[in-house]
Amino acid sequence: MEFPIIYTNFWDGVIAVPAVVLLTQCFKLFPIPRQYFPTIASIIGFIISIFISHRGDLWAGIFMGAFYGAAAVGTYSSLKTAWLAFKNRKRSWSF
């Protein structure tokens, strides 16, 4: 078995991952339990990667789809944690 050649480009980091985040957020309009959202992000990442960005190579699509989903979940988690920390910070400025 030969390993696939995978090219990462502008599409991967700037368009695909935010698209996965936005599409996952659209699913929050439906009554779906929160624990399923990382799985939904992974499925959306696989779909975008296999059918759009790496159409000709299934193994590259699967490999990069896992990264799209994981990057989307990590991005959302870090932004949410930073926002909650910013909102709940104590005013510790002393003059």
pLDDT band at 90 (very low <50, low <70, confident <90, very high): low
Q: CA 16 to CA 20: how far, in whole Å?
A: 6
Asked if the structure places residue 56 within a domain, the reply is yes
Asked if the structure places residue 45 within a domain, the reply is yes
Number of domains, the chain? 1
Q: Specify the higher pLDDT residue, 10 or 19.
A: 19
Asked if the structure places residue 10 within a domain, the reply is no
Asked if the structure places residue 3 within a domain, the reply is no
User: What percentage of the chain has pLDDT greater than the value 90?
Assistant: 59
Asked if the structure places residue 21 within a domain, the reply is no
Length of the chain: 95
Asked if the structure places residue 90 within a domain, the reply is no
Domain of residue 45, residue span:
32-76
Q: Is 82 left (phi over 0), alpha (psi -120 to 50) or beta?
A: alpha
- Whether 92 has a pLDDT exceeding 60, the answer reads no
Asked if the structure places residue 59 within a domain, the reply is yes
pLDDT at 3: 73
Q: Contact at 8 Å (CB) between 46 and 71?
A: no
- Whether 45 has a pLDDT exceeding 70, the answer reads yes
Asked if the structure places residue 89 within a domain, the reply is no
pTM of the model: 0.80
